Amino acid sequence: KQEVTQIPAALSVPEGENLVLNCSFTDSAIYNLQWFRQDPGKGLTSLLLIQSSQREQTSGRLNASLDKSSGRSTLYIAASQPGDSATYLCAVSGWASGSRLTFGEGTQLTVNP
Amino acid sequence: GAGVSQSPSNKVTEKGKDVELRCDPISGHTALYWYRQRLGQGLEFLIYFQGNSAPDKSGLPSDRFSAERTGESVSTLTIQRTQQEDSAVYLCASSPQEGYYEQYFGPGTRLTVT
């Protein structure tokens, strides 16, 4: 059974700092990995999708990497802003579980002005 | 274009009543997923539909839960004889097909069972 873990559970940083969020998964036979953002009381916004054959994806100030063999992904946020404050979730789909996403518990990020 | 929409946005119901939650996927998306997020817990998979194939119901927590999908459009999640532990945010997602494709989520329905 696929398990996804995110570290840290919570993170508070001053504005402008670069930061890294970590995600690990137990079964490396994945289709893809998605990073999402969730604002309080809202649904999920997809940030980045990395296919199993890819090593990284970039969108603006966000960069996500994937090391499938070690079961790890990182989300790098450059020059953080207060508007980046949210919960960040990573999720994987894979051969064992089909198309369904298995989610981590999330990292709650607070960027202080 | 329009994203995934869900209705109602909020639903308060009494224990023992039945509820129906609706999801309108992105037009042309053949795969549709339901997840739920209970307070303080992670998202858990409930069910998914892919085209005309039999749905994967393996995440439904009990036989009080069921879901239908009309072709490749609207889906309805029904919870019968609601219990307090059913209180959660129910999220729907769609993707162009199953497998390697990105899933796009709706805003969710917050269900409160009193």
* pLDDT at residue number B1: 57
In the predicted structure, residue A46 carries a pLDDT above the cut 70: yes
Query: Percent of chain A, pLDDT > 90?
Result: 86
* 3-state DSSP assignment of residue B85: helix
Residues from chain B that touch A44, judged by Cβ atoms under 8 A, are 91, 93, 105
Over residues B52-80, the mean pLDDT reads: 92
How near does any CA of chain B get to the CA of A102, in Å?
Answer: 7
Largest CA distance in chain A: 43
Of B103, B106, B110, the CB nearest to A101: B103
Radius of gyration of chain A (CA): 13
Over residues B14-27, the mean pLDDT reads: 96
* 3-state DSSP assignment of residue B86: helix
Residues from chain B that touch A89, judged by Cβ atoms under 8 A, are 43
In total, chain A counts a number of residues equal to 113
Residues from chain B that touch A102, judged by Cβ atoms under 8 A, are 45
